[in-house]
């Protein structure tokens, strides 16, 4: 087990906290401060326990060069509003003399926000000078940026290999939730998979087949599975290179007595812009010039049987092209079915499902909404997250 902030002595210590302040911005203004609000419990805990706090984060993709557009200054102004009782300073550098001086001058219960770590070319390359520069600023490192913990960056992986370290509350909740559902899930355990790209989900399917009771497959990825069992898919999305993989998975599922449930009808059209031409076709009846762009009503009924009885649901990838009105119903219905099942622990991750569920105003109904798409996929694949794997053990 990794240490949490409650396991470490922080009073009077310089604590470097890596958060995810990668907030959406438009014209220099923050359009959603959810990520700042979510980081507050860890920040407040550290300050209340007399830390000298140094906070760092990335914002956008400045690719290793300072760029005003990606400055964390607007985040600093917002953070001050949320922490009026504390002294907060901003350092317009990330590492080096100025940052060191400001960090060393901090008193207990004071905080410093460093400039965007990705202004340094060594950040994403995990270079030694950057790891050293950050490590010099602090005595302890706390990781609370789950969304970047699957990458070996200097301010996540690099520095936690150097300093005594622990996870913040956000990372702790993510790790504990995924551990619980993957190691001791309440059954029936149902995985719902969708989205366009099957190649991104191969390792997830491979891992989940050993964990779940049922996999419901929708989205564009279902057509490669249908093709694997010689079904007709019209002009739907198929990844020819993965047909064999899907066939093997179906065989493995039969051996392991895991149910793979594929759609039985579809909302189809000539392409994603042909909303006016949307029509429902049964499996096997999709015309050669049409593609399946959402699951149909009979599929929703079929999926309902499994979702209704589930005690654990993990969902990644939309059921159709949810961005378009005519192809949104499958994703909305599945979201409503999961939301309705109050006995079930429901976990969603991945940008598309999270934005769809947000749009349907159902986010509050899910037990856990992961803050990291790529990182949560890695956990579903059964892999370790590099930046978390190097944190200090209890």
Q: Which chain residues interact with ligand AMP by CB under 6 A?
A: 194-197, 200, 219-220, 237, 292-293, 317-318, 320-321, 323, 352
Paired strand residues for 55: 17, 113
Residue closer to ligand AMP (CB basis): 237 or 278 = 237
Residue closer to ligand AMP (CB basis): 147 or 219 = 219
Residue closer to ligand AMP (CB basis): 219 or 372 = 219
Residue closer to ligand AMP (CB basis): 106 or 193 = 193
Quote the least distance from Cβ 320 to ligand AMP, whole Å. 5
Residue closer to ligand AMP (CB basis): 94 or 293 = 293
Paired strand residues for 53: 15, 111
Which tokens in the block code for residue 123? 């950040």
Quote the least distance from Cβ 247 to ligand AMP, whole Å. 20
DSSP 6: G
Quote the least distance from Cβ 266 to ligand AMP, whole Å. 8
How far, in Å, CA of 318 to CA of 237, rounded? 14
Place of tokens 């995990």: 126
Q: Do residues 294 and 330 make contact, with C-beta atoms less than 8 angstroms apart?
A: yes
**162-199 burial code (b ≥16 CB/10 A, e <16):** bbebbbbbbbbbbbebbeebbeebeebbbbbbbbbebe
Alpha helices in the chain, H assignment, sequence order: 34-48, 73-82, 97-104, 128-135, 159-162, 169-183, 202-208, 222-228, 243-256, 297-309, 329-340, 351-359, 373-380, 386-389
Residue nearest to ligand AMP (CB): 195
How far, in Å, CA of 254 to CA of 248, rounded? 10
Quote the least distance from Cβ 154 to ligand AMP, whole Å. 28
CB neighbourhood size of 41 (10 A) = 15
Quote the least distance from Cβ 290 to ligand AMP, whole Å. 11
Residue closer to ligand AMP (CB basis): 355 or 392 = 355
Which residues are tagged catalytic?
A: 35, 197, 351, 374
Residue closer to ligand AMP (CB basis): 147 or 292 = 292
DSSP 137-195: T-SEEEE--GGGTTS--IIIIIHHHHS-EEE-HHHHHHHHHHHHHHHS--SSEEEEE-S
Question: What number of H helices and E strands is found in the chain?
Answer: 14, 17
Quote the least distance from Cβ 80 to ligand AMP, whole Å. 36
DSSP 4: B
Q: Do residues 154 and 130 make contact, with C-beta atoms less than 8 angstroms apart?
A: yes
Quote the least distance from Cβ 287 to ligand AMP, whole Å. 15
Quote the least distance from Cβ 285 to ligand AMP, whole Å. 16
**271-281 burial code (b ≥16 CB/10 A, e <16):** eeeeeeebeeb
Residue closer to ligand AMP (CB basis): 100 or 323 = 323
């Amino acid at each position: 087990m990794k240490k949490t902030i409650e396991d470490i002595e922080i009073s009077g210590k310089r604590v470097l906290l890596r958060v995810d302040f990668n907030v959406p911005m438009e014209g220099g203004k923050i359009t959603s401060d959810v990520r700042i609000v979510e980081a507050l419990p860890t920040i407040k805990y550290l300050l209340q326990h007399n830390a000298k706090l140094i906070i760092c984060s990335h914002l956008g993709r400045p690719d290793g060069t300072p760029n005003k557009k990606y400055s964390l200054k607007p985040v600093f102004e917002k953070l001050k509003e949320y922490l009026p009782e504390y002294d907060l300073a901003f350092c317009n550098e990330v590492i080096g003399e100025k940052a060191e001086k400001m960090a060393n001058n901090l008193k207990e219960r004071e905080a410093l926000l460093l400039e965007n770590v990705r202004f340094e070319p060594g950040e994403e390359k995990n270079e030694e000078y950057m790891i050293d520069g950050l490590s010099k600023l602090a005595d302890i490192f706390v990781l609370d940026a789950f969304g970047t913990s699957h990458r070996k960056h200097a301010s996540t992986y690099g520095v936690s290999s150097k300093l005594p370290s622990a996870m913040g509350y956000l990372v702790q909740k993510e790790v504990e939730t995924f551990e619980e559902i993957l190691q001791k899930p309440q059954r029936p355990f149902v995985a719902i998979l969708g989205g366009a790209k099957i190649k991104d989900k191969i390792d997830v399917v491979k891992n989940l087949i050993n964990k779940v009771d049922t996999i419901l497959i929708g989205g564009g990825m279902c057509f490669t599975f249908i093709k694997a069992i010689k079904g007709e898919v019209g002009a739907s999305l198929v990844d020819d290179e993965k047909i064999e993989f899907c066939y093997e998975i179906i065989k493995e599922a039969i051996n392991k007595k895991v149910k793979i449930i594929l759609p039985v009808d579809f909302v189809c059209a000539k392409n994603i812009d042909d909303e006016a031409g949307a029509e429902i076709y049964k499996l096997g009846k999709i015309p050669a010039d049409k593609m399946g762009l959402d699951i149909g009503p009979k599929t929703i009924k079929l999926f309902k049987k499994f979702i209704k009885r589930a005690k654990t649901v993990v969902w990644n990838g939309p059921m159709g092209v949810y961005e378009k009105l005519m192809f949104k119903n499958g994703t909305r219905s599945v979201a409503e079915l999961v939301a309705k099942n109050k006995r079930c622990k429901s976990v969603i991750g991945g940008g598309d499902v999270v934005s769809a569920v947000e749009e349907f105003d159902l986010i509050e109904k899910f037990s856990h909404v992961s803050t990291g798409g790529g990182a949560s996929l890695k956990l579903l694949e059964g892999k370790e997250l590099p930046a978390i794997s190097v944190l200090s053990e209890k």
